[in-house]
Amino acid sequence: MKNTVFTGAATAIVTPLTADGVDYPRFGRLIDWQIEAGIDAIVVAGTTGEGSTLTDAEHKEVIRYCVERVAGRVPVIAGTGSNDIAYAIELTKYACEVGADAMLLVTPYYNKATQQGLIQSFTAIADASTKPCILYNVPGRTGCNLLPTTVAKLAQHPNIVGIKEASGNISQIAQVAHLCGDNIDIYSGNDDQIVPVLSLGGKGVISVLSNLLPAETSKMCHDYMAGRTAEATAAQLMYLPLVDALFCEVNPIPVKAAMAAMGYGEDYLRLPLTPMEDAHRETLLGLMKEQNLI
């Protein structure tokens, strides 16, 4: 059995941006609030953190700043994956040097690697890392599906300890659990499948929802793991409308609107992302009011 990076809920944290760059004062305040609310880990510069449109310098500085601000209170998982594997290795080495606790490695996007290409790519990054690595399978965004048999091969690497599974395919996730056993920790990558993934032996979720509801998302996971399955299931179903609203447009468009409404940054995104459509925003803010978030 490998060491587990975290159990419960990790927030795939937004990166507050303005036209002038990263808004570090608001970013720091958001990090502090997440930890004070009881979140179990923070994922920085991932999809939700708009890592793909941060400059190289910003990407590194956002990771360094997050590690420094968290100051060991919870694990920090750095988004260092890329479709350019040499760059992913560079980012991974940097994140290790500045003290990130683990890496999140997305499947190469656009290139659409073969399964053998994925094995070689993730192995090369994991070989370069001095910290644990969590694979990230999100074929709806990358056009590349990390198959269970491939995960099982990669799970033999001592530095590859987990997978964020956002395929939405519960049967595929079950196959990963069956083939890998204790060789890999499984995290839900979809907020509408937290409890289903936990029921397959998952260790938690890497969450967008927890940007808004860190305490509640963490509690859902820990309730399930403590045997309070009815409570966890009730929470999963109660938050489904809010989750749907957070994904009615491509992530992180809705969550940036939500966090702006809560005072954690401007509703500012970099192209090709654009602010949320008015009708969708009205629905999202209405649901947030029901949860007393605004």
Q: With left for phi above 0 and alpha for psi between -120 and 50, is residue 72 left, alpha or beta?
A: left
CB 176 within 8 A of CB 163: yes
- Rounded Cα distance between 138 and 247, Å, is 14
The 10 Å CB-count burial string (b at 16+, else e) for 175-211 is: bbbebbeebbbbbbbbbbbbbbbbebbbbbbbbbbbb
Residues in the chain: 294
C-beta of residue 176 within 8 angstroms of C-beta of residue 149: no
Q: Is 293 helix (H, G, I), strand (E, B) or coil?
A: coil
Question: In this structure, what are the phi and psi dihedrals at residue 56, rounded to the nearest 5 degrees?
Answer: -55, -45
DSSP states of 84-138: SHHHHHHHHHHHHHTT-SEEEEEPPTTT---HHHHHHHHHHHHHH-SS-EEEEE-
Asked if residue 275 has a cis previous peptide bond (ω within 30° of 0), the answer is no
Cβ-Cβ contacts under 8 Å for 208 (sequence gap 6 or more): 12, 48, 191, 246, 247, 251, 252, 255
Pairing of strands 21-22, 17-18: antiparallel
Q: What are the catalytic residues? A: 136, 164
Distance CA 45, CA 37 (A): 21
